[in-house]
């Protein structure tokens, strides 16, 4: 079983603070995706990282894929109340061609940014 351990589970911060969410696994993933989900809605794709060591920036969000492609992090600079939501990492892996369409999700991080 490919598990993705996501931490922390809960994060409550003040507007303007920085934060980092971690996603770790003992398995290698061919790609890793980060999603943000709001209550009552489906997850919205933020970014996909595919190359070990890759860093992608999306405004105040920075995503990194570990060199060994087993871990990833999401860093938010100067958090705003609009960043509040559930952040999910999801890994995809080719395993003899049996992983079609299958994403393995972390448990998620519930982020609350207070004004």
Give the binding site for other proteins (CB under 8 A). Answer: 30-31, 33, 35, 40-45, 48, 50, 88, 90, 92-94, 98-108
User: Radius of gyration over alpha carbons of the chain, in Å?
Assistant: 14
Q: What whole-number distance in Å separates Cα of residue 69 and Cα of residue 78? A: 27
DSSP secondary structure code for residue 106 in this structure: P
- The CB-of-20 to other proteins minimum distance in angstroms stands at 20
The least CB distance from residue 36 to other proteins, in Å, is 11
How remote is the C-alpha of 1 from its chain's centroid? Answer: 19
* Smaller CB separation from other proteins, 70 or 79: 70
């Amino acid at each position: 079983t490919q598990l993705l351990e996501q931490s922390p589970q809960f994060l409550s911060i003040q507007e303007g603070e920085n934060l980092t969410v971690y996603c770790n696994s003992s398995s290698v993933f061919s790609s890793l995706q980060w999603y943000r989900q709001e209550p009552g809605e489906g997850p919205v794709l933020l970014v996909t990282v595919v190359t070990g060591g890759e860093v992608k920036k999306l405004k105040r969000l920075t995503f990194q894929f570990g060199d060994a492609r087993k871990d990833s992090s999401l860093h938010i600079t100067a958090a705003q109340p609009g960043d509040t939501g559930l952040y999910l990492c999801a890994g995809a892996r080719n395993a003899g061609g049996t992983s079609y369409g299958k994403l393995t999700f972390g448990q998620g991080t519930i982020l609350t940014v207070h004004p």
